[in-house]
Structure 1
Amino acid sequence: MERKGARRRGGDEHDVEAVLDELYATPPARFVPRREELAAAARTAGRAEDARRIHAARRPTLAAWAANLLLRSRPQESRQFLELGNALREAHRALDPDAIKELSAQRRRIVSAMSRQAAELALEAGHRLSDTVRHDVESTLNAVLADPDAADQWAAGRLHSTLTPPAAFPSARPQTAPASPRAERTDELAVRRRAREEELTRAREAAEAAGQRLRDQRAEHTAAEASLERARDRRDQAHQQVEATEQRLRQEREVLKQADRDHGQAEKQLHTAADALARAEREAREASREVERLGRRRAR
């Protein structure tokens, strides 16, 4: 899909439009560092105006990035989605109830499908979309269908924030001849009725989405409570194990102290025995020498 008003891409690696396209395909967490890197490269190459444009690029929200990713990754589906928006706006301008009914049913189904695709693409790129972000993606897609300016912004592939759909589709029908006051009144009532029906449909969809988010949050809350309970059990078990280990450690320290005392006593006993042994050896040697001396005297 070619972006409206964009230059054709050539082989020039310094094409600022191509650089901006690459930048808006970058996940939000890496957007600012990559932007500064690309701007610095443009300044180094002497392209001051390109550097200014790159530096002015605004970091997209996660929902805006997912919508950009959807446009780039699903060009055929995105083109058909833009065509559906054209058909819906034309049906509302023409006040064609049958076309509006049929296309509105397609709108709800296709917006839901496109939102799921955006979430899947974001997950493949390493980012899980929360229910709130999914809601923002759907808001942007609904705006694209209802508002031609929003459609042009999305088709450019450089959204930086969520688009908000108007309260109702444009329904002003061009007239080739002046209408009678009664016809004008009838058209005005039809326009108001169609606007109320559209507003009611949006309100019901918003209520359904809010109910689904509430159910999801309750499920997450229940899962979090269960996880907390498991963590508490593991913590209690760990405390018990620590207390048992500390008790064993205290007991082993007492055993070690007793062993140290026994060791000290044994060393003392060893020293005493060694001293006694040395004295006994000296006395034995002296006695042996005395025996020898007396023996020699007797022999004389």
Structure 2
Amino acid sequence: MAGNEPDFDAIADELHTLAPQDFTTARNRHADALKKTDPQLAKQVRALRRPTQAAWAANLLAHRHGDLVGQLLDLGQALRDAQEHLAGEQLRTLTEQRRQLVRALTGQAERDAAEAGHPLGADAVAEVDRTLGAALADPDAARALAAGRLTAPLDPVLWPGAGKPGSRKPGTGAATKKAAGTSPASARDSRPTKAQAAAERRRRREQEQARKALAGAEQAADKADTRAAEASRALDEAESARRRAETEAEQARAALAEAQDREALARERLTRAEKQARSAEDAARTADDRAAKAHEGVQEAAERLRVSQSDDDQQPG
């Protein structure tokens, strides 16, 4: 739209990259602002639904890492082509690439969510993983992921059209319908031989077996990736706990060393105080002895003075 007029796509893209906790407030704010100027657009905006945590993380991937999501979609198309043509070796190579790319994208989604302040729980991580698997298997799911406006995680399917009622099978298209209107002779000529029919049935069985084997391998890979992610998180938590324990132990050792230093200093001060107390006691006893001797000397001097005075009194004048 021209100028600075509000645009639904811009608003929707903005809202779907907001954390789910902020979605409703921001959506209502946009709708309220548009109510008078563009009621229809306001109604469209208010109809938007808040994404789940996993859907929000997938939307972030689409908006921030479109190149990686594009690689995922290209790989999904290559996998479908290889499966359709029963390219076994190519399937194995692509399946391994799929595991690596899904793991990388899931890890990126976890990092983006954590950096945004809303880390994903184990269930949300598993839902992101399933959403990426659905985008690999189903072109419609791939387009939904690339649009970046998911409100809920996507669930994988086996392969589009495989075993679904009403899906086309080889030989049931327009060419077969046209052949049904030809002459009996030409129809008989166009009928497959028994060997051809048997080969076609065998080919279909092999194709179905390949589909099932691939689906089983992908499910096993998904489970392995989930277990690996859980183990990685458990390892990270254990490592964090170990670092915390080491820090606490180091702090405790430092506190103990400080306490021991204080105890040694206190003992040293106590020893000095005890020595000073003993010295003071010795000095006090010495002072007491000297005082006692001085007292005795005073008494002796007083006695001598008394005796001397008595003698003087007894002599005749």
1: distance between equivalents of 2:85 and 2:169?
Answer: 6
Match of 1:198 in 2: 214
User: In the alignment, is the contact (CA less than 8 A) between 1:95 and 1:173 conserved in 2?
Assistant: no
2: distance between equivalents of 1:10 and 1:97?
Answer: 52
Give the aligned residue type for 1:18.
A
Confirm whether residue 37 of structure 1 aligns to residue 29 of structure 2: yes
1:43-70 alpha-carbon deviations (Å, 9 max, x no partner)? 122x121111111111100110000001
2: distance between equivalents of 1:217 and 1:125?
Answer: 19
1: distance between equivalents of 2:236 and 2:72?
Answer: 33
Confirm whether residue 52 of structure 1 aligns to residue 36 of structure 2: no
Match of 1:182 in 2: 198
Larger deviation: 116-125 or 75-84? Answer: 75-84
1:20-60 alpha-carbon deviations (Å, 9 max, x no partner)? 11111111000001111111111122x12111111111110
2:12 is aligned, of 8, 17, 20, to 20
1:64 is aligned, of 28, 43, 55, to 55
Match of 2:89 in 1: 98
Once the two structures are TM-superposed, the CA of residue 88 in structure 1 deviates from its matched residue by: 1.4
What secondary structure is seen at the aligned counterpart in 2 of 1:44? Answer: coil
Match of 1:246 in 2: none
User: In the alignment, is the contact (CA less than 8 A) between 2:66 and 2:146 conserved in 1?
Assistant: no
The 5 Å alignment of 1:1-300 reads 11-45=3-37, 47-168=38-159, 180-209=196-225, 211-212=227-228, 215=231
Once the two structures are TM-superposed, the CA of residue 13 in structure 1 deviates from its matched residue by: 3.4
2: distance between equivalents of 1:94 and 1:68?
Answer: 32
User: In the alignment, is the contact (CA less than 8 A) between 1:169 and 1:195 conserved in 2?
Assistant: no
Give the aligned residue type for 2:25.
P
1:208-257 alpha-carbon deviations (Å, 9 max, x no partner)? 2454476578779989x999xx9xxxxxxxxxxxxxxxxxxxxxxxxxxx
User: In the alignment, is the contact (CA less than 8 A) between 2:135 and 2:141 conserved in 1?
Assistant: yes
Closer, same or farther: CA 17–169 of 1 in aligned 2, 3 Å? closer
1: distance between equivalents of 2:76 and 2:230?
Answer: 30
Closer, same or farther: CA 163–44 of 1 in aligned 2, 3 Å? same
* Corresponding pairs, count: 221
Please give the TM-score of this superposition, normalised by the length of structure 2: 0.61
Closer, same or farther: CA 80–193 of 1 in aligned 2, 3 Å? same
Structure ID, larger Rg: 2
What stretches of structure 2 of length at least 5 have no aligned partner?
A: 163-167, 177-190, 249-317
2: distance between equivalents of 1:219 and 1:98?
Answer: 35
Match of 1:296 in 2: none
2: distance between equivalents of 1:81 and 1:222?
Answer: 32
User: In the alignment, is the contact (CA less than 8 A) between 1:144 and 1:165 conserved in 2?
Assistant: yes
1:162-217 alpha-carbon deviations (Å, 9 max, x no partner)? 10011346668867898731232122211221122123213323442454476578
Closer, same or farther: CA 173–118 of 1 in aligned 2, 3 Å? farther
User: In the alignment, is the contact (CA less than 8 A) between 2:126 and 2:226 conserved in 1?
Assistant: no
User: In the alignment, is the contact (CA less than 8 A) between 2:55 and 2:152 conserved in 1?
Assistant: yes
Give the aligned residue type for 1:110.
L
What secondary structure is seen at the aligned counterpart in 2 of 1:13? Answer: coil
Give the aligned residue type for 1:123.
A
Give the aligned residue type for 2:103.
S
Closer, same or farther: CA 101–173 of 1 in aligned 2, 3 Å? farther
User: In the alignment, is the contact (CA less than 8 A) between 1:86 and 1:145 conserved in 2?
Assistant: yes
Larger deviation: 110-119 or 192-201? Answer: 192-201
Match of 2:297 in 1: none
User: In the alignment, is the contact (CA less than 8 A) between 2:15 and 2:27 conserved in 1?
Assistant: yes
1: distance between equivalents of 2:132 and 2:225?
Answer: 15
What secondary structure is seen at the aligned counterpart in 2 of 1:192? Answer: helix
User: In the alignment, is the contact (CA less than 8 A) between 2:27 and 2:45 conserved in 1?
Assistant: yes
2: distance between equivalents of 1:26 and 1:221?
Answer: 28
